A and B are shown apart, each in its own frame.
Chain A
């Protein structure tokens, strides 16, 4: 539908030491269930085409992926316009298995922080070891950015992708820009 608008309508700001972008709409499904159950694994992997991630990890392939959220929760990523189909497939594969799969695409916003200083900008807001040896591609964290909940992973060496609540999108965008203010390079990560 043409009237679909993501939280910040793809706002972008590159005035500081990193580029901050709102990424537009991303399909997201919360799946709660026993992660060791075969049907839960199949429902997750077959719709995304990636392997089940280990604890604190995420696997991605383009707009699709599986993020480990907790011992009984996954975040399934898929293209936004494919959410209904994906959910239907998952429900079919889950069958009678006790589980909850629900569309949360519109409850969240996705942002990216990119550039050579992306790690430092993130490390100003998240209490996470973001040194290259401490946080690398494939890892996933549910944590906070300044005062709000957020989750993130690394897309490539210079790009972080963030998921936050939609209502907090403007705050996260603004606080990332504050953290990326000119002249605020830290020079800690080598």
Chain B
């Protein structure tokens, strides 16, 4: 059984016991435990079930690479699936549940899949689900959905908060192991600004567990001293619980800091995503031990040798009473020695290497009385939910069982692979190291920055170094070199020297035993989380998936949440063997960020709730809110769609507002309309190019409606231009167009007409603008008093500066409704006061505020187009019958040449008309009209579509505009619009001006 030892546990605070629960059972651990070590201490070896076969799964590693120990963590708003037990720090009250089992972890019906595993080989899903089609919906989908998958999806809103943080430094070091610390010291000594981040809560990495002496002191003491040195440097920042999760172009690195995961009672954000710009990045990310591929290597109790050692030394936890060590290298001997020292039994070390000279570690193991069997390996592991023994065989053979050893744990080591992920994220290349049988960073092909300079360096084990001395000297040189590359003078940094035992070279072992037959290979796991076996990869190769990227996708090797941290190298070694080519020729799959999954919350940062996205507010926003505004988003603005009164529906309110504006007086907050000042000696010339109409001839004091097209001739914006003075114009744009049209103007001025003397400024928000609309408009303004607004003094399409009710205003007499109408601009800080004054004087004149939907109906009644309704980026002014607004006198304007293209002048273009339903109902917006016959695809031919459609309360019927083939020459014809409701709508083609066609109402 696995249990807590009386001794050991250097990371524990044994004076502080913690309670936690697993699948509802309350268990005890200590402060400093991970969930993994605490579960093992309680003999909870079985932690979950695998993705496909529902095989029992126990923890295999002790760090971020863990594929098996995944749990549903927390409850309600704190719930999160797929949390690795090895990286979850224990806290009091932690609640964890195992995943992917039904009905229970101990008894899982889905495990029958494992019995059927020979019928579910690689590519099973692809092969199975092709035929018959109907099976997908009724059989496969429901069953697979139920059987496959890992954690549950959260149901509640996340109760935590998150944030971002921007940081800049000269040298960023990812990894706080001995290499990272040493590199930080070397870089820090030059005066460079250094940030070191470490994903766990502890600095020093695994060096204190592996042992050795540095500068005559224990490696643990050396680390303590180095950390103290770093703390004394003002230019060095060390952060723990922060993972360097991705390296991107231009030295951009994401750091994922977990602030309260270990102590949920703390206030403040849960995670902080650091967005770091570093001149140089050092990846001191260590190495990951590889599993060995033997039959039954996925049975709970089979663990990495380093993990078994970590649990014993760091957490005082034994993974089993009797542990068989199986290895192809010397490092695993450290585990055997550590277990012996902890008073545990190690019945044998099965060393796949042939017999030879003993290294220091082998001698030590022998001296402790451990039986060492050279040239041997495991034929198969016995046990179901727990290891019960191993069958020993010769590595060189086919798996004939020589003896059986009873044990309850297996510590395996297939050698070490440098963590090259961050080196590779931005293009760093790898080279194959035959001695260590691993890929390591190729220093000659690093990730390159903007000037072709290397901006990532690997240090220590991450760089492929394996001995303490090599790691320390590599890290020292790397730290100094990075600082130098960042522009700092490096002092001659001297690496400390270490005393460490000699080690015998490892030999690569990709399959155990070497000649394992199909039966063994089909029980030999490569990817624990996704249930990929040696036989699956071999089948993929046999079926022609020879590219490593294809084989990965076909078998799902390395595609689980652990992204194959343990399985990739073993898998591609098997693939290489099957393809009969060397491993470097097979290559690796692509390493992509993040290194391990980061929370969605941290990516979103502060952007949630009220500040999910910016909401732009006009000066009268609060008044609208207090007076029943039903809001409509218009870009980032919020505009009232209608002001809904008690007892009204939104539709009722729109109808009331529309009638009232025509009959009495309507007030519209038009502040959001874009206002661009265009000034300079060439302003008129410039606007002649921007607009289809002639603007340079506009007289000071006058306004003109203008159309703007892209260089491809399509309508992009419209609005009223006022000439303020000889060299100054004010251009109104649509609400959504203010920023884009400003950018459009700047682009042409900066790139094409850079020699024209014109400046543009966006003054949209300087003014609150109120449209005063309806028969009583003039009366209301006259009641405010201060300037002459008579028809004689201020004619239609004129503007004047003056005062109204004591406010300095600019009054435009313009109309988007066909009514007598003024738009009054006041400084934004007086917007609310001016609105209040209008509401007050309007009380006796039937004034009501109106929203955007009323505005739409009023303009549609008059046949006025709306950018975004009648236009969609494919419509030219000629389609809309706006020839009158296209100057024929000008040599050029943006869009002119495009509008002469053959397709643009075709008679077949759909043209704007009015549409009147035969029965007075309202046409569905966006509906298409159908003509005779069908097209090449067998679809009914389309002859037009609805662009705007409303119920007009003033005409008491549905009105619409639409683009129709040969529309203007088909007046009076009735065409058919099939609705999505199954009904056919009949509509007559009419003139688009439905209301007051003579324009009498606005000219009073």
Contact = CB atoms under 8 A, between A and B. Distances in A.
A30 B765 CA distance: 13
A107 interface: yes
Interface string B173-205: 000000000000000000001000000000000
B617 A167 contact: yes
Interface of A: 1, 3-7, 25, 30, 32-33, 72, 98-100, 102-108, 120, 123-131, 134, 146-148, 165-171, 174-175, 178-179, 181-186, 188, 190
B759 A106 contact: no
Interface in B467-510: none
A147 B607 contact: yes
B267 A104 contact: no
A120 to B, nearest CB: 8
B272 interface: yes
Given A3-B830, A123-B165, A178 B757 contact: no
A184 B163 contact: yes
Interface in B313-371: none
Interface stretch (B54-62, B285-293, B674-682, B944-952): B674-682
A178 B161 contact: yes
A167 B269 contact: no
B630 interface: no
A102 B677 contact: yes
B619 to A, nearest CB: 8
A100 B765 contact: no
B834 to A, nearest CB: 8
A188 B167 contact: yes
Given A4-B833, A32-B759, A178-B163, 14 more contacts: A1-B806, A3-B830, A30-B761, A105-B766, A107-B763, A107-B764, A134-B168, A146-B614, A167-B637, A171-B615, A175-B606, A178-B606, A188-B165, A188-B237
A107 to B, nearest CB: 4
Best-buried of B163, B165, B765 by chain A (most CB within 10 Å): B765
B15 interface: no
A167 B618 contact: yes
A186 B165 contact: yes
A124 B764 CA distance: 29
A123 B167 contact: yes
A2 B269 CA distance: 42
B759 A124 contact: no
B828 A106 contact: yes
Contacts of A106: 765-767, 827-829
B616 interface: yes
A184 B165 CA distance: 11
A181 B832 CA distance: 32
Nearest to B164: A124
Contact of B166 (A33, A127, A182, A185): A127
B916 to A, nearest CB: 40
Contact of A108 (B277, B618, B637, B765): B765
B761 A100 contact: yes
B607 A146 contact: yes
A127 B166 CA distance: 6
Interface of B: 161, 163-168, 193, 234, 237, 266-269, 272, 275, 277, 605-607, 610-611, 613-619, 637, 677, 679-681, 757, 759-761, 763-767, 806, 827-830, 832-833
Contact of B759 (A100, A125, A185): A100
Contacts of A134: 168
List the 3 closest A-B pairs by CB distance, nearest first.
A183-B268, A183-B267, A3-B833
A68 to B, nearest CB: 16
Contacts of B833: 1, 3-5
B166 A124 contact: yes
B268 A184 contact: yes
A108 B267 CA distance: 34
B73 to A, nearest CB: 21
A1 B832 CA distance: 13
Nearest to B252: A127
A184 B613 CA distance: 21
A183 to B, nearest CB: 3
B171 to A, nearest CB: 14
Nearest to A6: B829
12 contacts: A3-B830, A5-B833, A98-B680, A100-B760, A103-B766, A107-B828, A123-B167, A129-B168, A129-B277, A134-B168, A166-B828, A168-B616
Contacts of A166: 619, 765, 828
Contacts of A32: 759, 761
B763 A102 contact: yes
B680 A100 contact: yes
Contact of B616 (A3, A127, A129, A167): A167
Contacts of B619: 5, 7, 166
B606 A124 contact: yes
A104 B761 contact: yes
A100 B679 contact: yes
Contact of A4 (B637, B763, B830): B830
B165 A182 contact: no
Nearest to B757: A98
Nearest to A177: B611
A186 B677 contact: no
A10 to B, nearest CB: 12
Contact of A100 (B615, B677, B806, B829): B677
A99 B759 contact: yes
Nearest to B195: A188
Contacts of B272: 186
B679 A4 contact: no
Nearest to B728: A100
Given A4-B829, A32-B759, A165 B765 contact: yes
Contact of A146 (B167, B606, B677, B806): B606
A189 to B, nearest CB: 9
Best-buried of B168, B193, B237, B275 by chain A (most CB within 10 Å): B168
Given A124-B165, A171-B615, A179 B829 contact: no
Nearest to B267: A183
Best-buried of A1, A30, A107, A129 by chain B (most CB within 10 Å): A107
A184 B266 CA distance: 10
A78 to B, nearest CB: 15
B829 A178 contact: no
Contacts of A103: 766
A53 B549 CA distance: 56
Contact of A171 (B611, B681, B832): B611
B611 A181 contact: no
A33 B830 contact: no
Best-buried of B637, B764, B827 by chain A (most CB within 10 Å): B827
A35 to B, nearest CB: 13
A143 to B, nearest CB: 10
A23 to B, nearest CB: 13
A185 B272 CA distance: 11
A151 to B, nearest CB: 14
Contacts of A188: 165, 167, 237
A175 B234 CA distance: 31
Contacts of B614: 146-148, 168, 171
Contacts of A190: 234, 237
Given A98-B681, A107-B828, A167-B637, A174 B610 contact: yes
Nearest to B277: A129
Contact of B615 (A3, A170, A178): A170
B763 A5 contact: no
A32 B193 CA distance: 38
B606 A179 contact: yes
A131 B166 contact: no
Nearest to B608: A178
B756 to A, nearest CB: 10
Contacts of A123: 165-167
Best-buried of B234, B606, B607, B618 by chain A (most CB within 10 Å): B606
A149 to B, nearest CB: 10
A128 B164 CA distance: 13
A102 B762 CA distance: 10
Nearest to B234: A190
A22 to B, nearest CB: 12
